[in-house]
């Protein structure tokens, strides 16, 4: 590991300025991704600006009905927070399906959003990787592809974004509050992360020195019935092969009046399934239409030889999650599968 | 580059100078000679380096010692009080919950931290979302224990004993948490 200077930030704008002024500086949150990368040689900052002492660690209800989550709120505290469990259970579920109890006690909301891909070649400095070293090539194109993208990839990078939390936030239409040295702005979560294109070294649209200070959830009544489903190689403590966050609201006649679907493990960013949403909205809530919506979303899928199975997996995961949230929205009358539990609605 | 930090480890206060690159795990083991936390993977993947940091279970291999300045650390070696083993340690012995023992200090710290989380009403991925929304505390059955302990690997495969030891310790020490009596959830953030 390269030597580095460690500093504690005094305030948000100051922290942003400290990092903006030095191309070799980085913010330190829980460190569970950054310190790992420093050990691996994937990152080599010369200055670490520790922001965990800044007062960005509250979860609070907003007057307009939403909820504001401070950037430093730990993943475990967020998952356990009563407001999140009651009003946005999909977020609590997504957080609890990620990493381990010990890691969630360290990981912060902002750090989770900005964690980098788990592509094995990105983490191995002895192999070419366009994301780590632009222009060197992509080892995954001829390599291990099980955890790689089936949607929105480019010839330069086929990596996926690994966060579970970000998938739930995408279904919830969250806004990310960003502070630079001078001003504050809001970035919709769907526009925070990028597709790789010709510049896979940029995971997000943020500039160097942009500090995430909070994430805001809008008031969303149907989120009460939203659910997260994660498919992985072992039952716990593993990244997603495919994951789905979904919410549905039903009209008086039982048809789908509104729906939100986001996918994880399939693309360079948390994937908002707009085609599937459009296929479902304002029509009957039937098994056939759930399957058709899943097919519509994956029509553009371009799997790699090593992950063709993910297309069918994503289709069935979407269909199963829609079936589950539909049962929840109707009042939890069964066939919800894991998470539905057939309990009566209050 | 170096920094002067203070750590309280198993009740003893230490002042030390660390290279900023030192992890909390290396500071404990190499600088302070506290070898209860073990280095398994050094990448957050195995849980053998788990301690209670300011009361919460964490892996120490991904925490920089300098970021932990002022912290209170309890390792498996510090759980025993006045010569009596902690009930979790007793339960691990009663249930044969180890073979080589390398993962054990991490398992025990993680289990102690996990029971506190359950007692505070924290849900897990195994908790039905409806129950979680209502603030109901999960009953710590084997499924809950396995899920909540999935960050601790055991290469000897002593899992059967580990799960039964923790279930037993839960019944012995946190009767309220294990019986499903709802308790208010811990709030996120400072108050
Ligand atoms: C073994 C293992 C298993 C895991 N499994 C999962 C899993 O299943 N699902 C999952 O979703 N995640 C998983 N994770 C990843 C984990 O969720 C992330 O490491 C964690 O969320 C990162 O948060 P942090 O606070 O530790 O970030 P840090 O490591 O501190 O920072 C990460 C990045 O964010 C930047 N940053 C931090 N805070 C800010 C801010 N406020 N503003 C701007 N930039 C900032 C840092 O500079 C750095 O680039 C796993 C990790 C490990 C080690
Ligand atoms: S998929 Fe992306 S991150 Fe992985 S090796 Fe290719 S360029 Fe690097
Ligand atoms: S040594 Fe820390 S988790 Fe493996
Ligand atoms: S007892 Fe040997 S690793 Fe767990």
Q: What is the pLDDT along chain B (191 residues), one digit of tens a residue?
A: 999 999 999 999 999 999 999 999 999 999 999 999 999 999 999 999 999 999 999 999 999 999 999 999 999 999 998 889 999 999 999 999 999 999 999 999 999 999 999 999 999 999 999 999 988 866 899 999 999 999 999 999 999 999 999 999 999 875 544 444 444 333 333 32
Taking CA atoms, B87 is separated from A82, B81, B108, B168, B170, in Å, by: 30, 10, 10, 9, 9
In this structure, are B97 and B52 located in the same domain?
Answer: no
Query: Which ligand has the nearest atom to the CA of A101?
Result: 1
* B63 and B126 part of one domain: no
Is residue B186 one of the residues assigned to a domain? Answer: no
Atom of ligand 1 nearest to the CA of A178: 42
B115 and B66 belong to one structural domain: no
d(CA A261, CA B55): 38
Q: Which of residues 27 through 56 in chain A touch B, CB cutoff 8 A?
A: 28, 30-32, 35-36, 38-39, 48, 50, 52, 55
Which pLDDT belongs to residue A71?
98
Check pLDDT > 50 for residue A154: yes
What CA–CA distances, in Å, run from B109 to A107, B30, B49, B106?
19, 20, 9, 5
Give me the residues paired with residue A230 across strands: A243
Of B34, B50, B79, the residue at which a domain comes to its end is B79
Structure tokens belonging to residue A65: 């009905």
Question: Rounded distance, CA A73 to CA A4, Å?
Answer: 26
Specify whether B74 is located in the same domain as B152: no
Say if residue B66 is in the same domain as residue B99.
no
**N- to C-terminal Cα separation, chain B:** 35
Residue pair A189/A161 in contact by the 8 Å Cβ criterion: no
Which of B50, B79, B108 terminates a domain? The answer is B79
Of the pLDDT bands very low, low, confident and very high (cuts 50, 70, 90), residue A175 is very high
| Whether pTM exceeds 0.90 | yes
Q: What integer best gives the mean pLDDT of chain A?
A: 95
User: Among B79, B104, B121, which residue terminates a domain?
Assistant: B79
CA of A115 to the centre of ligand 2 (A): 15
- Please indicate, yes or no, whether residues B60 and B14 belong to a single structural domain of this protein: yes
Task: Give A319→chain B minimum CA distance, Å.
Answer: 19
DSSP conformational letter for A123: T
**pLDDT computed for residue A174 by the predictor:** 98
Please state the atom number of ligand 1 nearest to the C-alpha of residue A211. Answer: 42
The sheet with strand A256-264 has its strands ordered as: A227-231, A242-250, A256-264, A271-272
* B184, part of any domain: no
pLDDT at A342 over 70: no
Contact A80 B121 (CB under 8 A): yes
Q: What is the spatial distance between Cα B177 and Cα B121, in angstroms, rounded to a whole number?
A: 8
Domain that includes residue B160, residue range:
87-178
Q: What's the pLDDT at B82?
A: 84
Q: What is the pLDDT of residue B81?
A: 85
Q: Ligand 4 centre and the CA of B105: distance in Å?
A: 10
Q: Would you say residue A295 has pLDDT above 90?
A: yes
Domain count, chain B: 2
Q: CB contact, 8 Å: B191 with chain A? A: no
Give me the mean pLDDT over the A91-95 stretch: 98
B138 and B165 share a domain? yes
- Topology of domain A223-329, CATH: Enolase-like; domain 1 (3.30.390)
Do residue B75 and residue B98 come from a single domain?
no
User: Is the same domain home to B97 and B169?
Assistant: yes
Top pLDDT among A121 and B178 is at A121
B129 with B170, same domain: the answer is yes
Residues of chain B found within 8 Å of residue A100, distances taken between Cβ atoms: 44, 47, 59, 150-152
Is residue B11 assigned to a domain?
yes
Chain A residue nearest residue B116, CA to CA: A101
Q: What pLDDT is recorded for position B138?
A: 66
* Phi, psi (deg, nearest 5) at residue A5: -95, 140
The domain locations on chain A are: 223-329
pLDDT of residue A245: 99
Q: Determine if ligand 2 sits within 6 Å of the CB of residue A140.
A: yes
How far is Cα A12 from Cα A234, in angstroms, rounded to an integer? 39
CB pair distance less than 8 Å for B57 and A101: yes
E-strand spans in A83-241?
175-179, 184-188, 211-217, 227-231
Q: Is residue B57 part of a domain?
A: yes
Task: Work out the pLDDT band at A13, boundaries 50, 70, 90.
Answer: very high
Closest Cα to atom 8 of ligand 2: A129
Give the model confidence (pLDDT) of A201-230 as tens digits. Answer: 999 999 999 999 999 999 999 999 999 999
CA distance A113 to A6: 23
Please give the sequence-ordered ranges of beta strands (E in DSSP) within A211-330, or none if there are none: 211-217, 227-231, 242-250, 256-264, 271-272
| Cα separations in angstroms, B48 against A123, A233, B112 | 22, 22, 14
The CATH number given to whatever domain includes residue B169 is 1.10.150.120
> With a CB-CB cutoff of 8 Å, which residues 63-102 of chain A face chain B?
70, 73-74, 76-82, 85-86, 89, 92-93, 96-97, 99-102
Mean pLDDT along residues A303-331: 97
What's the B45 CA to ligand 4 centre distance in angstroms?
15
* Chain A residues lying within 8 Å of B117, measured CB to CB: 76, 80, 101
User: Are B58 and A97 in contact (CB < 8 Å)?
Assistant: no
């Amino acid at each position: 590991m390269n030597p580095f200077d460690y500093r504690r930030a005094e305030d948000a704008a100051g922290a942003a300025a400290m990092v903006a002024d030095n191309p070799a500086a980085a913010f330190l949150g829980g460190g569970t991704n950054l310190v790992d990368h420093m050990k691996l040689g994937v990152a080599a900052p010369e200055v670490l600006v520790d922001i965990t002492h800044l007062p960005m660690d509250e979860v609070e209800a907003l007057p307009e009905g939403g909820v504001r989550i401070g950037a430093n709120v730990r993943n475990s505290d967020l998952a356990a927070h009563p407001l999140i469990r009651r009003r946005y259970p999909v977020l609590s579920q997504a957080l609890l399906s990620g990493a381990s109890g010990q890691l969630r006690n360290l990981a912060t909301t902002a750090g989770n959003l900005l964690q980098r891909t788990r592509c094995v070649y990105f983490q191995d400095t002895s192999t070419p990787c366009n994301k780590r070293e632009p222009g060197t090539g992509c080892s995954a194109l001829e390599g291990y592809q099980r955890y790689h993208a089936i949607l929105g990839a480019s010839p330069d990078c086929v990596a996926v974004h690994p966060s579970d939390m970000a998938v739930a936030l995408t279904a919830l239409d969250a806004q990310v509050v960003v502070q630079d040295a001078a001003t504050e702005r809001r970035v919709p979560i769907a526009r925070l992360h990028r597709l790789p294109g010709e510049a896979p070294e940029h995971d997000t649209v943020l500039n160097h020195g942009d500090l995430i200070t909070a994430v805001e959830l809008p008031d969303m009544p149907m989120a009460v019935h939203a659910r997260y489903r994660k498919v992985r190689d072992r039952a716990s403590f593993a990244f997603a092969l495919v994951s789905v966050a979904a919410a549905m609201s039903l009209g008086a006649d039982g048809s789908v009046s509104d729906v939100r679907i986001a996918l994880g493990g399939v693309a360079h960013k948390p994937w908002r399934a707009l085609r599937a949403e459009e296929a479902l909205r304002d029509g009957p809530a039937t098994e056939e239409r759930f399957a058709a919506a899943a097919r519509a979303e994956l029509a553009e899928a371009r799997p790699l030889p090593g992950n063709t199975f993910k297309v069918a997996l994503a289709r069935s995961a979407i269909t199963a999650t829609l079936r589950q949230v539909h049962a929840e929205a109707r009042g939890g009358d069964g066939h919800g599968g894991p998470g539905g539990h057939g309990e009566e609605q209050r | 580059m170096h920094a002067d930090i203070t750590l309280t480890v198993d009740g003893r206060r230490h002042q030390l100078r660390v290279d900023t690159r030192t992890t909390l795990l290396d500071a404990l083991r190499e600088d302070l000679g506290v070898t209860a936390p073990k280095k398994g993977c050094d990448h957050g993947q195995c849980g053998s380096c788990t301690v209670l940091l300011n009361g919460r279970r964490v892996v120490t291999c991904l925490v920089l010692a300098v970021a932990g300045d002022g912290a209170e650390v309890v390792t498996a070696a510090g759980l025993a009080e006045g010569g009596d083993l902690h009930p979790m340690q007793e339960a691990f012995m009663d249930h044969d919950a180890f073979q080589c023992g390398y993962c054990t200090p991490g398992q025990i710290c993680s289990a102690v931290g996990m029971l506190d989380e359950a007692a505070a009403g924290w849900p897990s991925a195994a908790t039905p979302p409806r129950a979680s929304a209502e603030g109901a505390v999960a009953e710590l059955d084997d499924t809950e224990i396995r899920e909540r302990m999935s960050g601790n690997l055991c290469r000897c495969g002593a899992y059967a004993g580990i799960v039964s030891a923790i279930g037993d310790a839960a019944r012995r020490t946190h009767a309220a948490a294990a019986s499903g009596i709802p308790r208010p959830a811990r709030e996120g953030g400072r108050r």
